[in-house]
Every structure is written in structure tokens, then in C-alpha cells.
Amino acid sequence: MALMPQPNQSVLPRAEAFLLLVLLCNVLCPLAAWCQSNSGGGMEVRGFRAEIDVTVSDSSGEIISTPANVKLFRGGSPYNQGSTSNGRIFFILPNLGDFTVMVDAAGYKSGQKDVSVNTEMRFEVQINLQRDTSSNVTPGAAGNPILAPKAKEALDKGMQALRDDKLDEAEKALDQAMQLAPNNPDVLYVLGVLDLKKRDWIKAQSVLEKATQMEPNSARALAALGMALCNQKKYAEAIPPLEKSVQVDPASDWETHWSLAESYYHSDRFDEALKVSQQAQAESNGQVPQVDLLVAKSLVAVGRYEDSAAVLRELIKNHSDNPEAATARRYLERLTADGKIRQQ
């Protein structure tokens, strides 16, 4: 017997915990066998495997030192992705075929190049990005992209309005920040938080996807993107960014773990749902009845009926005035009627 899932609850990242971090991805670089990149794409034999080695430079040919997000497509479908280290990244290819390399970097226009991999050799691809003059991002700077004073003032004002739950005021300030710095990942992230608070899941997804493209290892942006997908019931799509967020930041808050557990549950990954929902329960100190309900449902899904009943009874005891208490009573009645638990 499986308990009926409740309508998905919205979970919002806490805007007041906004941290201007850049969590850089340590990407494995080629070792001594790496040869110099050739403009236009060259190739050399390197064992019995196919590789695409990507070098990202600016218009002058200078290596872009800050991480760039590189996506690899095969036949128009996503194939692999990663971040550059010192301007370079390589992909080992288990399959041959026609590939497209797409690159995004803060402060630059996107670039791409096609490469046909028809033999097990190493293919070098150099992509030169053009400076985006409309961006307020300082390219090549270490750490977070730098905001111009007016853009930073607008962003700070929008963040404060979000903390005060003044959504109209926040939207006005963030619109100004977007006009001044349309490609800044911090601005995009806070705008995504605003869209989540407005329950505009589709718009939030679009904005947060851009933020994670620019900062592929930002735990907060990945968590927010996963929540936007989870709220659309796109559970399978929500799992990768939520898992990566937890991997990047093991100290993620209970909302992130709850969203991940919810996505596991609706993807029939019940053992994982139970483990992560119990983690969210511990992090929330048992003060969030929605989390308790998810723990109870996950326990039923793995056949631990008496344990589920114990969680439900504790929920009713601690949150008797909450709507979730009525749901918990219905669950207990079902478990009893189906002979899964002892009647009390």
C-alpha cells in the first residue's frame, strides 16, 4: 500500500543567506602528453580513444583564466559538460560522431564550434570569445564578477526588499540591476529567488539555468534551480542540480534536502528518498510537518509501516493545529484499515 502523495509544496532558498561565493570546479587537466592547441582544430594520435580537447581564449588569443562553462552536444542532444581550468578542458568520448562545443563565460559572448570525430584520436578545438560590451562583468578577474556601483546598489536594494517580503519593490530594483548587469550571475540568482517567491516556476527555471551556466558550481543557484523544477513536478530533471548542490555544499539546508527527497520519492527511488528526507527532518529539528509527512510516506514505500505510524503520531502530537495533522490522521486510518499496523 502506498500513501497518496500530497500536492507539492513550494520550497524557497533563503534570500537572507545570500552569499557571494564562487565555488570553482577542479577539472582534471591533461598531463605531459598535452600538446599546444592549434587554431582551427587539429588532431594527433593519443592511444586508442577519442578525445575533444577545448581551449578557450579571448579575441586576442589570450587564454581566459577564469572558469568557462563548456557544453558538448552530439546530434543536437546534450552529451557532457564541465568547467575549464586555466582555459582548458577535455572530454573522453566513448562514441564517435558529430559534436558541437558551446562555451559561456562571464563577460563574453557565447561561442561554439562543430567538430566531426570519426576516429579514435585527439581533436583540438580552440574557441575565441568576443567581449560582451553590454556586460558589467570584468572578464578575467578572479572571484565573483565585479558589479558597477549602480548595479550593486540596485542588487542590494532588491535583496533587502526580498528579506522584507516586498516583492514589488524587489522586482523594480532587480529589473534595474538586470539592465545594468544582464549577465551577472549574482543578479540572475536573486532574480530567480524573486521568481520562486512569486511562484513563477517557469521563469525562475529560465533565469536560474543562466545563473548555473555562468557559475556551474554555485550550490545556492543549483539548489534554487532544482526547487524550480521540483515545483513544476519535473522530478527527474530536478535531481541532478539538487544532487550537485549537496555535493558542492554538504552543509546544505533542510529545504534543499527536502526538495531532493521529494524528487527521489516521485521518481520511485524510495530508499534514497527515505535517507535524504530523514536528513532534512534532523536539520529542521522536527519543526516542519511537511518534512515529517515525506518521511512517513517514504517509510511506507520501503515497507516500514510501524515506523511510519510512529512518525505520523508524533506529527499529530507536535503539530495538531496544522493542516498536515489532518493528513497524518488519514494516513494512519489507511494503514490501520489495510492491516499494516496495530490498532491503538
Q: Is residue 152 over pLDDT 60? A: yes
In angstroms, the CA 243 to CA 261 distance is: 10
Interior/surface letters 155-191, b for 16+ CB within 10 angstroms, e for the rest: bebbbebbeeeeeeebbebbebbbebbbbbbbbbbbb
pLDDT, residue 313, reads 96
- 102's grid cell: 558551446
Q: What is the mean pLDDT of the segment spanning 128-136?
A: 73
Rounded (5°) CA angle 226-230-232: 125
In angstroms, the CA 19 to CA 55 distance is: 30
Catalogue all structural domains in the chain, each as residue range(s) with its CATH number.
Answer: 43-129 (2.60.40.10), 147-232 (1.25.40.10), 253-344 (1.25.40.10)
pTM: 0.60
Q: Is residue 84 over pLDDT 90? A: no
- 112's grid cell: 561554439
- 70's grid cell: 563548456
Q: Is residue 166 over pLDDT 90? A: yes
Q: pLDDT-based confidence at 133, cuts 50/70/90?
A: low
Q: List strand residue ranges (DSSP E) for the chain, in order.
A: 43-44, 50-58, 69-74, 77-83, 88-93, 97-104, 111-117, 122-129
